[in-house]
Amino acid sequence: MKARKAAMIVDCHVNVYEDSQMLPLHTTSTAHARPGELSPRSDPDTVYAAMKDVDKAIIFSLRYKDSVGIDGDDEVTARAVAKYPDKLVGFACVDPRMPNYMDLLVHAVEDLKLKGVKFGPIYNGVSLLDPRLVPLYEYLQRNNLPLTMHMGTTYGRVAPIEYGRPLDVDAIATRYPDLKMIMAHMAHPWYEECIVVARKQPNVYCEVSALFYRPWQFYNILIAAQEYLITHRNKIFWGTDFPFSQVQESIDGLRGINKQVEGTNLPRVAQATMDHILHSNPFEHWWHGGYPG
């Protein structure tokens, strides 16, 4: 009898940037990012070491220099993937305020061979409904490339919070029905909006990175997802948001989510829900026909 193959763990949300791409603003602004200590280093070697206990990781850099002080680029992502191709899969990062952002994206996809896009509306101060994004949506849909979006609030002072709400995702998903879209961080604190959008839109997904350290909110997110019946539909994916969260603490935070309601009559997050999320596989769902490699 063959041994059962261990279920995969894929970290779908990992940030990568060189030390030289961290500006002073990053150091000052992250003081209120999360409870506990935060080591901001996230260069390719640091990322690879941190991902030792996962099978694969989706990585991307950040063009957020004026909002949270990270001035990344696609080259650092491509270098990381080239050095560790068995572990890392790279996405491009876009800032639609840059006049040449689409040229940079085409270079990232066609020359650097990156496999998707990360965009932070709240960090770049650009709404998902902004017409500057139309070429992006058209290019991604045409080329079967997924779009991961920071959804939810952030700690950056100049980031417009309104652009972090997930209801605009519904409008874009309706206009571009074949575009695969992923809402990061369950759009906290607007997780109910996130859940109902993912429920109704076939090609919209969400993920739980950087949520475990607000355990009461995280518990309510997962209970709401169960009640809206999306936890068994391959709609919710697992990630860390490294370096803002580490792999093991993120796993432990999910596995131990019911500890805070022990001794009460409150509903429990089902073991099946935890398993579905922890062993979710973006490579089976974020690209039409599966990951093209």
**Helix or strand holding residue 93 (H, E):** strand 92-93
**Helix or strand holding residue 270 (H, E):** none
Judged against a pLDDT cut of 90, whether residue 196 lies above it is answered with: yes
Judged against a pLDDT cut of 60, whether residue 5 lies above it is answered with: no
Q: Write the Ramachandran bin of 70: left for phi over 0, alpha for psi from -120 to 50, otherwise beta.
A: beta
Judged against a pLDDT cut of 80, whether residue 1 lies above it is answered with: no
Instruction: Kindly report the pTM of this predicted structure.
Output: 0.96
At residue 2 the predicted structure's pLDDT band, cuts being 50, 70 and 90, is: very low
Judged against a pLDDT cut of 50, whether residue 113 lies above it is answered with: yes
**Each residue's pLDDT tens digit, 67-88:** 999 999 999 999 999 999 999 9
Measure the CA–CA gap between 276 and 288, rounded to whole angstroms. 20
At residue 31 the predicted structure's pLDDT band, cuts being 50, 70 and 90, is: confident
Distance set, CA 136 to CA 3, 145, 147, 207 (Å) = 45, 10, 9, 22
**Each residue's pLDDT tens digit, 238-263:** 999 999 999 999 999 999 999 999 99
